Amino acid sequence: MDSSRMNYISLIRERHSTRAYEPHALTERDREEVAGAIASAVPLRSSGHLLHWALAERSVMGCSTLLYAQCDPSEEQLLEYGYQGEQIVLALLANGWGTCWYASVRLPGSPCSIAVGRPSREGPRAAITAMMARGYTRRPLEKLLTNPVPEDCSPIVLTVLNSARLAPSAVNRQPWTFQVVSDNEVVISTEGDRFLDLGICAAHAMVTARQLTGKATIRWLSRGRLSVSW
């Protein structure tokens, strides 16, 4: 899968957590698509490596498989887990797959898993899960900023921030804040130790900046703080 050809901004705006799936056993072609999505991800650090993502033949809400990787509970590893995992999620979405992060389903050595399957658009399960999710809305961008956005700032900054705002988190808690440093840099910080969420959020900012400018750099500033520049 060629990540340079994907419209990440549209994928981020379309993405939603899928909680109802069609009965579907993975074919060999399906496994190749998932492998291609994994290969499209890049690690947080330029010297880093992809985690060893694997598929588990276990169903959650009728999904086809669970995607997971083993990692230790350190900040660096949890950041990588979220950062790489959300890139894989977006690549799967581009091929019509539904996904959902599941913190309560932890396969051996993993902090959580990602359900993968063909989304179901009808039936009682889809209706029930849609009703359960209703009301959990994301906060507006203004509520997540630690400093006002300059009136003359580049539209790229706002697009990157809005992509980051749309990152998934449990019941849309959005455990992060944004700081505009300049027309080509924003800082994302997390509350407490929500490092996996921070990695997911940074992935949205990175792929958006890369799509708009052709480049993006992530720097680890301090505990719970990442810089995204382009």
Give the pLDDT confidence of 22-67 residue by residue, as tens digits: 999 999 999 999 999 999 999 998 778 999 999 998 778 789 999 9
Give the pLDDT confidence of 69-94 residue by residue, as tens digits: 999 999 999 999 999 999 999 999 99
Query: What's the average model confidence in pLDDT over 108-137?
Result: 72
pLDDT of residue 4: 65
pTM greater than the 0.95 cutoff: no
β-pairing verdict for 185-190 and 54-56: unpaired
Residues 157, 180: Cα–Cα separation, whole Å? 8
Map out the domains of the chain as residue ranges.
Answer: 3-131, 141-229
Right CATH for 3-131 from 3.40.50.1100, 3.40.50.2300, 3.40.50.300, 3.40.109.10: 3.40.109.10
141-229 has the same fold as 3-131: yes
Any alpha helices (H) in the chain, and if so which ranges?
A: 8-14, 28-40, 75-94, 124-133, 155-165, 195-213
160 against 191, higher pLDDT:
160
Architecture of domain 141-229: 3-Layer(aba) Sandwich (3.40)
